[in-house]
């Protein structure tokens, strides 16, 4: 079992400065001030209140200090309305999660990509993110008795085969090629089912995630690492960065408690960034050295505080973090 404590994560890669230039060295300035990168927020964290009061939520987010947000749906607004609300408080959205399979009337990756591209340009989005795997048609998304939707996805992810993951990789390549013609980049965001060992996996591709990385075209498909879900799967985010330099361009800065038991079914014990088991003083510089340039705070429920208070705690930690 991988030791996911701060000490264990550091030990897993040895001295960070050896693997990634500058990692582990004392920093004169906080990481984000030194790199000149903004601290972003994945709006999913505040989704309910954003849908109820978009303008007020964005004002609060900007007042905390965030400069960028990553969208997860349009919060019941049009792209033009969203853009106006962001512009009013000085926020931008370089990245957006877009539903994979059409539902609810919003654009999707399996729908009209020209419409999606037009909306992205209105919003100022440069990167479209596939937020979860494409669910094969043979699976029923209807929850069984007592199942939450996350449990449904965990069950389906656990039953997916190497062929299913290959289909997802080919889907990413095809959509990435189309979006590239409109000046947009496509990325894949992980949860933790991707890291389950496959009974039918072939040598060199033992997990769904390995298949996605191996089978996608680096010129067409990027990856957004959700560090919290990587750790929840019992995996080492440092090893992923080291093994695939240049493939990761964005990161969800998500922390989890040490009580999280490694699993592949959408389970974690979440907490504010800096309050959990991930060593951000090592991971942020390692991610930067490997090519990550967009960092978005994200937290899963349940929350110990209000959601807005929690993202404020995470922002304060990151703004002062010397790494």
Confirm if 211 and 257 have CB atoms less than 8 A apart.
no
Q: Which residues contact 203 (CB under 8 A, 6 or more apart)?
A: none
pLDDT (mean) for 250-259: 98
CA distance 265 to 153: 7
**Omega into 167 within 30° of 0, i.e. cis?**
no
CA dihedral 173, 175, 179, 184 (to 10 degrees): -60
Question: What does the DSSP 8-state code read for residue 30?
Answer: B
pLDDT band at 150 (very low <50, low <70, confident <90, very high): confident
Q: Do residues 231 and 237 touch, judged by C-beta distance below 8 A?
A: yes
- Name the packing angle between helices 113-123 and 162-180 (round to 10°): 60
Q: SS3 of 102, please?
A: coil
Is the pLDDT score of 318 beyond 60?
yes
Q: Which domains does the chain have, with CATH numbers?
A: 6-13+66-318 (3.20.20.150)
Q: Helix, strand, coil shares of the chain as percentages rounded to 5?
A: 45, 15, 40
Residue 27: per-residue pLDDT? 62
Between 70 and 205, the more confident residue is: 70
pLDDT-derived band at 312 (thresholds 50, 70, 90) equals: very high
Under the banding of pLDDT at 50, 70 and 90, the label for residue 16 is very low
The pair phi, psi for residue 39, each rounded to 5°, is -90, 120
pLDDT at 103: 85
């Amino acid at each position: 079992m991988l030791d996911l404590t701060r000490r264990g994560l550091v030990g897993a890669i040895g001295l960070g400065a050896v693997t990634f230039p500058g990692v582990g060295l004392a920093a004169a300035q906080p990481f984000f001030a030194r790199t000149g990168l903004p601290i972003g927020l994945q709006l999913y964290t505040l989704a309910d209140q954003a849908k109820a009061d978009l303008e007020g939520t964005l004002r609060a987010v900007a007042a905390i200090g965030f400069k960028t947000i990553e969208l997860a749906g349009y919060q019941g607004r049009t792209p033009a309305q969203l853009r106006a609300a962001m512009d009013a408080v000085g926020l931008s959205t370089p990245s957006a999660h877009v539903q994979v399979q059409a539902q609810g009337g919003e654009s999707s990756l399996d729908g009209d990509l020209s419409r999606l591209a037009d909306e992205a340009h209105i919003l100022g989005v440069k990167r479209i993110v596939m937020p979860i795997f494409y669910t094969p048609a043979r699976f029923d998304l209807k929850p069984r008795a007592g199942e939450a939707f996350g449990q449904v996805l965990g069950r389906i992810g656990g039953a997916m085969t190497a062929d299913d993951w290959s289909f997802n990789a080919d889907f990413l390549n095809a959509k990435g090629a189309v979006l590239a013609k409109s000046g947009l980049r496509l990325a894949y965001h992980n949860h933790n089912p991707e890291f389950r060992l496959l009974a039918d996996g072939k040598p060199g591709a033992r997990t769904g995630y390995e298949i996605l990385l191996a089978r996608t075209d680096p010129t067409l498909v990027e990856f957004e690492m959700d560090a919290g879900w990587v750790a929840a799967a019992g995996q080492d985010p440092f090893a992923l960065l080291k093994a695939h330099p240049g493939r990761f361009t964005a990161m969800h800065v998500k922390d989890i408690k040490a009580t999280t038991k490694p699993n592949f079914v959408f389970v974690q014990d979440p907490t504010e960034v800096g309050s959990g088991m991930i060593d951000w003083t090592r991971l942020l510089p390692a991610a930067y050295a490997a090519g990550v340039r967009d960092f978005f705070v994200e937290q899963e429920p349940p929350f110990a505080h209000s959601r807005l208070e929690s993202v404020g705690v995470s922002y304060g930690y990151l703004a002062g973090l010397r790494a």
